[in-house]
Amino acid sequence: MWTYNNREFTGEEIGEYFGMVYLITNIRTGRKYVGKKFFTKAAKRQIKGKSRKVRIASDWEQYFGSNKVIQEEVKNLGEEVFKREILHLCKTRSECSYWETWEIFNRDALRTNDYYNDWVSCRIRKAHLISKPDTSMYKTKMRRPASNR
């Protein structure tokens, strides 16, 4: 089960959203994983004898991240040991990439063993963001560069 704002999130609530940025937590150890997942995926269909690109539903409801370690733990320990939370609902691919990268960096997920995250890679075009994210509510979490400390 996925939760958003402390309540269950279902496919009926997707609406115009393209994807989500999420946090998976191992309840026993407290270790976490930040990732993104799109609600649809690309596929090809035969339409009037021609192959066409279409978008079909993804496996987001059963998804537990792309990290091999967390996938193995889910397999061995069971899904009930993990809490899955949606942090951000996003309207574009670029917005998903932006918020995933933002969460990974602001949580210091790559610099601590408290997270399963091993790497981050993103390409974001400013023009592809529907609106510039307002980070004012996160200012207390943001870190200053080491040269300013």
> Quick check: helix, strand or coil at residue 147?
helix
Q: What is the pLDDT of residue 137?
A: 44
Give just the sign of the alpha carbon dihedral 121, 126, 128, 130. Answer: positive
Confidence of residue 133 (pLDDT cuts 50, 70, 90): low
Mean pLDDT, the chain, rounded, equals 87
Report percent pLDDT > 70 for the chain: 87
**pLDDT, greater one: 50 or 33:** 33
Sign of torsion, CA 100 105 106 109?
positive
The pLDDT of residue 138 is above 70: no
Q: From CA 39, how far away is CA 90, in angstroms rounded? A: 10
CA angle 57, 130, 66 (to 5 degrees): 40
Residue-by-residue DSSP string for 53-93: EEEEE-SGGG---S-HHHHHHHHHH-GGGEEEEEEEEESSH
CATH number of this structure's domain 2-44+54-140 = 3.40.1440.10
pTM metric for this prediction: 0.81
Contact 114, 34 (CB under 8 A): no
